[in-house]
Amino acid sequence: MYFYIFSRTWQTSLFMVSAHFMSVRLSTAMIVPQGENPSIPDPSSLMEEGFSNPNIYPKKMTTSEVLAGETTPPFLRGVIESSPILKPDLSSLALPDLEALSTDERSDSSLSVLSHPEVDHWSETSIPPLDLPLSLAYTLNVGDGDDWLIGRRSRPMIVGHRGSMYRKLENTLDSFRAAAEDGCDAVELDLFLLKDGSLVVFHGDGGDANPGYLSSYCGIGGNILDYTNAEARQLKFNPDCPEFPCPREELERGFIPTLEEVLVQAKELGTIVKIELKGPGTEIPCLELVERMDMVDQCHFSSFDHSRVARIRELRQQKDDNGQHVYKTGCLFSEVPDNFIEMATGVGASEVHLKYDTCTTERVLAIHDAGMGSMAWFRGPPGMRQDVTDKYLDVGNEDESMYRTVLATGVQAICLNKPYILHHMIQRQYEGTEEAI
């Protein structure tokens, strides 16, 4: 018996998987037995339609919806109803470690070298995890990324997420300097106000609503907010923390810098600084420091807590001759509500920053139509490894194929963990032009 697995034709690949004596190799979540039900379309017709027909392949189809049959396309309902004993239990599958593949393999758009472990059993009650898109291109509604330069008036801005964290310890002076060396136009950092009134640059554990914990970062209890600047400077970083992909020796000499130290260096290097107002009470002291150092044109203010963005705009409403805000602010979103444009314009944001896999073409266009700038931000290293293992098999872990796919949405800036890769891409594409860097 043969099973055919499909991606959209403009995506990366067409896989064929065979099942013999209760074993199967899996390449994506769409499994279509051929010839078991007359209602199942011929594979060639599916390829021609490219799963673009919502009646055949609706987006974001969850397992519960498939079971309920409310949005199940006819051919999948036929599979589920007519072949109840041929529903593989895929919950225990370990998908390939793309980090272990060579650069060529990870950037190869066909992904034909990938094969999954054999499933040695079947379940009568489980179905493939159809809630996983398994394609970043499909999720963002773009092609395969080859057209990432089309329609651009200028090259995309490269923003080093916490600096250049694969080379140096994140959120340190060394990391921000390395980002500049790697071709970054800007760096992104996380800001906290300590109990002695110091502004320090640090990320830490905890979600955006409750950040700054030290458990995995430093291997101790407590929060960065419990410390003075002098005490925070003595903290040691945990070499086993998964957020630190840099060489171990970088952890040993790393320390938590003040914002002023970072701004002094950025002024020297000429890099833009995107300051995420991470901790409470950061907006006014940060604003005052930036103004005192005469770096308004070089610093942008952003936050997941949009009340902090609103506070900056409330205090500084000046506009330039082109009608653009002099003080640049950005609204960060992890999940994107339907009214995200209204939320951003309501607090006077200059930019909208979306998580890379929510930065769809339609949302980018809406941001630009509203007169705001756009940026896609990437998760930390553990989150990115998880995404390319569990969700997006058409790209590698922040390789060129992933960056091309995100940039194909038209987003203006990209805040990433491996800036040197995008820098080399842009160098090749713009070589010999005014946009070359």
Segments making up each domain of the chain, as ranges: 136-435
pLDDT digits (tens, 9 = 90+) for 388-414: 999 999 999 999 999 999 999 999 999
Which residues make beta-bridge pairs with 200? 192, 258
Whether 298 has a pLDDT exceeding 60, the answer reads yes
Determine which of 95-109, 192-206, 223-237 has the lowest per-residue pLDDT on average.
Answer: 95-109
In the chain, pLDDT over 90 holds for what percent of residues? 62
Tell me if 187 sits within 8 A of 271, measured CB to CB: yes
Measure Cα distances from 340 to 69, 265, 324, 391 in Å.
31, 34, 20, 24
Q: How many other CB atoms are found less than 10 A from the CB of residue 402?
A: 30
14-18, strands of its sheet edge to edge: 14-18, 2-6, 32-33
- Which tokens in the block code for residue 361? 């073409």
The pLDDT value recorded for residue 150 is 61
Mean pLDDT of 203-208: 91
Given a cut of 60, whether residue 49 has pLDDT beyond it is no
Task: Report the distance separating Cα 61 and Cα 241, nearest Å.
Answer: 35
Distance between the two ends of the chain, CA-based, in angstroms? 54
Torsion angle, alpha carbons of 333, 334, 338, 342, to 10 = -10
Confidence (pTM): 0.72
How does residue 430 score in pLDDT terms, banded at 50, 70 and 90? confident
Which CATH code, of 3.20.20.150, 3.20.20.190, 3.30.1440.10, 1.10.10.10, is assigned to 136-435? 3.20.20.190
Q: Is 300 helix (H, G, I), strand (E, B) or coil?
A: strand
Question: By the 8 A CB rule, do 357 and 139 touch?
Answer: yes
Judged against a pLDDT cut of 80, whether residue 251 lies above it is answered with yes
Which pLDDT score, from 0 to 100, does residue 208 have?
82
pLDDT given for residue 382 in this prediction: 97
Q: What does the pLDDT read at residue 66? A: 41
In angstroms, rounded to a whole number, what is the distance separating the alpha carbons of residues 337 and 292? 37
Helix (H) or strand (E) holding 273: strand 272-277
> What DSSP string describes 344-359?
HHHTT-SEEEEEGGG-
Of the given ranges (144-153, 185-194, 362-371, 386-395), which has the lowest mean pLDDT?
144-153
Whether pLDDT at 285 is above 60: yes
pLDDT class of 147 with cuts at 50, 70, 90: low
Higher pLDDT among residues 198 and 101, named by residue? 198
pLDDT given for residue 429 in this prediction: 81
What pLDDT sits at residue 134? 82
